[in-house]
Structure 1
Amino acid sequence: MARPDTRDYRRLFLEDVPLMDMRAPGEFAQGAFPGAHSLPLMNDDERARVGTCYKQRGQAAAIALGHELVAGEVRERRMRAWLDFARDHPRGYLYCFRGGLRSATVQQWLARTGVDYPLVLGGYKAMRRFLIDNLEKAVLERELRLISGRTGTGKTRVVEALPRAVDLEGRARHRGSAFGQLPGGQPSQIDFENALSIDLLKLGAAGDGPVYLEDEGHMIGSVNLPLALRRAMAAAPMVVVQENLAARVAVVVEDYIVDLGRRYCERFGEADGPAEHRAKLRADLQRIRKRLGGARHQAVDEMLQSAFEQQWRTGDTTAHRDWIASLLRDYYDPMYDYQLRQRGGRVLFRGSRAEVIAWAGGAAR
């Protein structure tokens, strides 16, 4: 029995239902849903030509051109991809931008082969609207609590240990600081918002209780926190993680030297990765040069370069502690302390990382 088409967007996202996206690759790149697969009816050039035809000669001529462009071997190749997806994902659905002609066309072509595959009514536009509305609703209905603390206290580790938390930096693929860019780049703004809304939707479906988020500014790298979320976070109560300088330096070494170094080697290879890693951190340091002051910047930069030279010779990362401690103590700590004084949210609890995790009901790690 054929499955019906659906408008149950909530179920699609809660159950991570596989989705076949008929939109052109350029549309998909601007914004998509986690787990959606780009299997377009037309590529960007074909879509542009059909659009121009529609404007100049009307709908009938545009449809005829579309059938002309997607014919023969082109159509057969794309049909094979759609059929493979339908076979591999029997619970899935297909959609285009508005759930209109493109998705209906593919649905009809599949049906002629004996494959009844349902579509999402309203398409991408309706699903996107659902997620926007859900995010705005969720931040008003949920009690948000912010994990705050100085740089290096391991706030992200706390978020990862809590069952009712959203990892904003993880979703942004950025660690939130001037040094936080990761190889591979960040998601589009729309992709970030879609994933965040789905996270909140799933937490809401899982039951009541506070939702923990890491305390962030308006932007995480190149992506913006949605306005509704920023407003809710501005008034949210805080849980402050406190660790001594040595423990914080150890966290930064692990994240920005060991882990980031591994990522650069995976991306650029063992030969070029280390140099790319150092160049990246030096460029990040250069971006805060004006705020550091010329003399302090030069001193930190020299320590950074020397630490990498020692690491490359001996494999020892100990020397990185010096420049990291200097930045934490003289740059990041005063900035954080000032920002904390400007916050309106009350402090619910202060403690070490382990104490905060225990207080918030997380799993020790």
Structure 2
Amino acid sequence: MTSQDTNDYQSIFLEDRPLMDVRAPVEFEKGAFPKSQNIPILDDLQREAIGTCYKKEGQDAAIALGLQLVGADIREQRLGQWTQFVKAYPEGYLYCFRGGLRSRTTQNWLQEQGVNYPLIKGGYKSMRTYLLQQLELSAEQIPMVILSGLTGSGKTHVLNKTRYQIDLEGLANHRGSAFGSDINDFQPTQINWENKLSIDCLKYRHHYPDAGLLLEDESKRIGRNILPDSFYLKMQQAPSIFLQRELEQRVAIIRDDYFTSSWPLYQQQYQQAGEEKFSTFLLGSLARIKKRLGGVLYEQINASFTLALEHLFATGESNLFDEGVRLLLLEYYDPMYQYQLKNKQRKMVFSGTEPEILAWVEEHLKTIT
């Protein structure tokens, strides 16, 4: 132990302290924290073997097996990696699952090398519990206002122009529609998503204790990530403001966000296979909502997008997507929005253009008592 060992979880997350996670990789992959790096004391097989030994023969036998499995060469390798981390992040902490044997062993081995590095009391389990409690508290305490608008209104763009916001789609790495996944289809695990959301809310409460919070109107599921019940319920009960945008402006925003900006990324990552990958992504995303579109409308939009893809690959121009996007908006997304609006109890307190929305937010959200 060191005198700097801590259970001040709030400071750790508010200050973005670097964290050295010495749990096994399988534990880290299930869930960790945004500023953590996995440098395990035991690999997955070693952890499993020691866990089995502990259950059958007790702690002393498990410790003995651990020392046997982590021989001199492995120990030296681990120490080298840990020492590098400590030098790079002297302000950080180390942790294991409960702040127990693995943390203390790591700390002791480092001390034998003349390196003192603090651990987090209670480990991952206590920090995770703290963040879940704080997320509930945030849902209860933060006054929320919901930014609504028809699909393609550019809500995320507007959201990111104000300080009084948390970008849920950004945290989930998903743009919240059938076409919303990123090029690598990467989203955080549900645990990591909840941890990131909780930390962002904690920071928001700390930096803007009297302010309201602007959130984009979202369904409970954003891609594969699911909003916690209490947080989503608070959003459903919150007042809303409506972003006005003309149809052709919406078409242009969708074209730029989903086609003009995405195609170069596919070219860069996949090179010669870029055309196939981009076509598969776009037409596959459309096919996933085929039943909801209906056969005739699906065939119309699919044909339009296929022609637009050929034009894009030949000329680099994305303007032919407009026809299919317009059909999607008028025949699918707009009617769906109107249907959902009828089934929501949310009170709309303001409606305006982008500049008007931003002015309203600045005036009304900076202090809510």
| Structure 1 length-normalised TM | 0.96
Measured after TM superposition, the shift of residue 3 of structure 1 is: 5.0
Write the mapping of 1:208-287 to structure 2, written as runs, cut at 5 A.
208-268=210-270, 270-287=271-288
* Partner residue, 2:80: 80
**Residues 160-186 of structure 1: per-residue CA shift (max 9 Å, x gap):** 111021110000111111111112311
Structure 1 residue 69 corresponds to structure 2 residue 40: no
State how many pairs are aligned: 360
Three-state SS of the structure 2 residue aligned to 1:349 is strand
Instruction: Specify the alignment match of 2:366 in structure 1.
Output: none
- Separation in 2, partners of 1:47, 1:267: 37
8 Å CA contact 1:261–1:277 kept in 2: the answer is yes
What is the DSSP-based 3-state SS (H/G/I as helix, E as strand, rest coil) of the residue aligned with 1:145?
strand
Structure 2 match to 1:138: 138
Matched, 1:346 2:330: no
| Secondary structure in structure 1 of the residue aligned to 2:242 | strand
Superimposed CA distance per residue, residues 87-119 of structure 1 (whole angstroms, 9 cap, x where no aligned partner): 110100000000000001000000011111000
**Aligned-residue CA RMSD (Å):** 1.2
Match for residue 124 of structure 1? Answer: 124
The answer for the alignment partner of 1:36 in structure 2 is: 36
Tell me the equivalent position of 2:20. 20
Instruction: Determine the C-alpha separation between the residues in 2 that align with 1:105 and 1:258.
Output: 53
1:46 corresponds to:
46
What per-residue deviation string (whole Å, max 9, x for no partner) do you get for residues 36-65 of structure 1? 011111111111111111122221111111
Moved over 6 A (4+): none
CA distance in 1, matches of 2:73, 2:130: 37
Would you say the 8 A contact 1:3–1:116 is kept in 2?
A: no
Matched AA of 2:259: I
Distance apart, 1:222 and its partner CA = 0.7
Contact 1:242 1:351 in 2 (8 A): yes
Q: Secondary structure at the match of 2:116?
A: coil
Which amino acid letter does the alignment assign opposite residue 181 of structure 1? Answer: S
Q: Which runs of 5+ in 1 are unaligned?
A: none
Deviations 1:12-59 (A, max 9, x none): 000000000011111111111001011111111111111111122221
Structure 1 residue 353: deviation in Å? Answer: 2.2
Normalised to the residue count of structure 2, the TM-score between the two structures is 0.95
Shifted more, 286-295 versus 11-20: the winner is: 286-295
Could you say what secondary structure the match of 1:121 adopts? coil
Q: Which runs of 5+ in 2 are unaligned?
A: 364-369
Query: Matched residues, percent identical?
Result: 44
> Within 1, Cα distance between the matches of 2:227 and 2:87?
38
| Counterparts of 1:192 and 1:213, CA distance in 2 | 16
Q: Given residue 189 of structure 1, which amino acid in structure 2 is its aligned partner?
A: Q
Shift of 1:6: 0.4
One-letter amino acid matched to 1:201: L
Q: Which residue of 2 aligns with 1:304?
A: 305
Deviations along 1:220-257, one digit per CA (max 9) or x if unpaired, are 01110011101101101101111011110111111110
Name the aligned partner's letter for residue 173 of structure 1: N
